[in-house]
Amino acid sequence: MEIRKGIAVSPGIAIAKPMVIDSKDYRIPRRSIMPSQRDKEIQRLRKAFSKAILELENLGSSKAIQEGKIGDIFAVHMRFLKDRSFRKRVTDFISKDLVTAEYAVSTILREIASHFAGIDDAYISERAADIFDIEKRLLTHLLGKKQEEVDHLREEVVILAADLTPTQTAGFNKSFVKGFATEKGGRTSHTAIVARSLGIPAVVALGDLSSEVPPECVVIVDGNRGVVIIDPDDDTLKQYDVYAQQMTQFVHELDQLQELPAETRDGVHIKMLGNIEFPDEAEQIIEKGGEGIGLYRTEFLFLYGGQEPTEEDHYNAYAEAIRAVGDKPVVIRTMDLGADKLPHTRWHPNETNPVLGLRSIRYCLQDLSLFKTQLRAILRASVLGDVRVMFPLITNLQELRQAKMILRDVMEDLDEFAVPYNADLPVGIMIETPSSALTASLLANESSFFSVGTNDLIQYTLAVDRANEHVSTLFSAAEPAVLYLIRSVIHESYKAGIGLSICGEIASDPEFIMLLLGMGVRTLSLAPPMIPEIKKIIRSVTIEECNKLSRAVSTMDSARQIKNYLRDAAIRILPETF
């Protein structure tokens, strides 16, 4: 029996025989062509694009994709394949350098993927998998090779692979593919999103997953605990059979909470909002019992394709999400772009440490045309529903005042052309640096609301790069310094009488919910699939219990002590999760 620990990305238990899938990582050598072959290569390229687009159209119209509400992921792939500037870039490479179509495709797409993969933000870096997905699809047609299919399966299996692309995952037949485990991947990758949407248990980032797994053995994928067990003994199998039955019952219980309010046992309502990246995800928030969008990330309008989004691109994306949630709130965060995550069409400053450089609101304040285009779209969309705008990475009062001044300038521009918008649009900020947390009393005077982005707040407070394997274990929301800053921000928001939400990963972590409620948090913005589970915790506790826990934590002096205490409390409330 071999036990491997990775990252749990899609809940559930899968027990079946393994099927190892070749990653098909095509390596394309540089091959030159004669000038007379140029037109033939370009024609081959066009045919490959046409076939790839047709495949995606068929995949996107499948029942699994429609029911999973994940069509936007594949719409992005489609937009990339249809993007004229990207196609021209590949064609020009063939024409000028006289290389084969497959070499041009592979070279350019791997440059783009490397750009994403090198970004310090894990959420952005995991988008590289989408670019590799597009590369593999095009190379399959150019090389005349057939991608490995699992449609022929006639027995239940667990897929083991170095990595999987989103479209590979979406093509799995759930009747036979019961779960999967990969060597690479992350919690916010599109492959993980697809797995969660389709309800396929999954564990990723397992490291060197053996390719010599005996084909007749059994593999257990525990998508709740992030564990993969290869060739388990009889006792382990029996334990997991019982655990799987308990989890099935638990999921059914969570489904029944959808229409119930997120209220503590003593009647305190907790507003539960969702974080989204694509407009299609807005529907999932409502389906899971959420009350609106607490964080609408907008940078992916910039990072895919070969050209910048127009004002209409912005407006249409926002309008779709707003209409999906009706009269519920929609908080649109302005672009969090910077030297570490810029589209290829923009100037890239040369920075040794881009996380501390020209990024987010700082970048917007230096590129006013880009910023104003987005603000115009947000203002136009503000008449469609309860829209609020939020500026990220504000570090001081001057930045906030500059951003609000530009917003007023855009309002005046719209007034000139009699374009309707909400003149009373609420303006909030992300609290994600120690400087903004420590000056929250000043910022609160000119903000409608705060949203605490715990991911960056932890990174900047502890001086820890969570993507750096040498120090990532130091990245912890349970550190007393981090909790002190969060308490301080909550206190200042109450004093100023403005709204506050937590939108970082700890809002989705069952271990931290009681602590957050005890600290005074009454609005959570989290990953939509986690809404039922967190609602279950909220409905199982009283505020007094949470207050008592919070007071106890405030006396502790180490992250380990706090983490263990919070975990023990969460296990007593929701043992099914652990």
Answer whether residue 64 is part of any domain: yes
Residues annotated as catalytic (active site), given as ranges: 190, 503
Answer whether residue 482 is part of any domain: no
Mean pLDDT for 278-287 is: 87
Long-range contacts of 340-343 (CB under 8 A, 24+ apart): 340/118, 340/119, 340/120, 340/121, 340/124, 341/116, 341/119, 341/121, 341/124, 341/299, 341/303, 342/302, 343/302, 343/303, 343/308
- Per-residue pLDDT tens for 370-380? 999 999 999 99
Domain boundary among 118, 143, 168: 143
Say if residue 380 is in the same domain as residue 303: yes
Answer whether residue 474 is part of any domain: no
Answer whether residue 469 is part of any domain: no
Domain boundary among 143, 173, 191: 143
Say if residue 179 is in the same domain as residue 123: no
**Rounded Cα–Cα distance for residues 59 and 234 (Å):** 40
- Give this prediction's pTM: 0.72
Point out the least confidently predicted range of 273-287, 312-326, 349-363.
Answer: 349-363
Say if residue 155 is in the same domain as residue 289: no
Say if residue 323 is in the same domain as residue 372: yes
Answer whether residue 124 is part of any domain: yes
Say if residue 162 is in the same domain as residue 119: no
Name the band, by pLDDT with cuts 50, 70 and 90, for residue 147: very low
**Quick one: pLDDT at residue 118?**
63
**336-340, 374-378, 471-475, 570-574: range with highest mean pLDDT:** 374-378
Domain boundary among 202, 233, 264: 233
Say if residue 388 is in the same domain as residue 315: yes
Q: Give the CATH number of the domain where residue 13 resides.
A: 3.50.30.10
Residues 163, 184 contacting (CB under 8 angstroms): yes
Mean pLDDT for 237-260 is: 85
Other beta carbons within 10 angstroms of residue 366's beta carbon come to 11
Answer whether residue 338 is part of any domain: yes
Mean pLDDT (the chain) is 86
Q: Give the CATH number of the domain where residue 75 resides.
A: 1.10.274.10
Domain count, the chain: 3
- Per-residue pLDDT tens for 1-11? 888 888 888 88
Say if residue 521 is in the same domain as residue 397: yes
Say if residue 13 is in the same domain as residue 50: no
Residues near 140 by Cβ (< 8 Å), separated by ≥ 6?
146, 147
Domain housing 186: 2-24+148-233
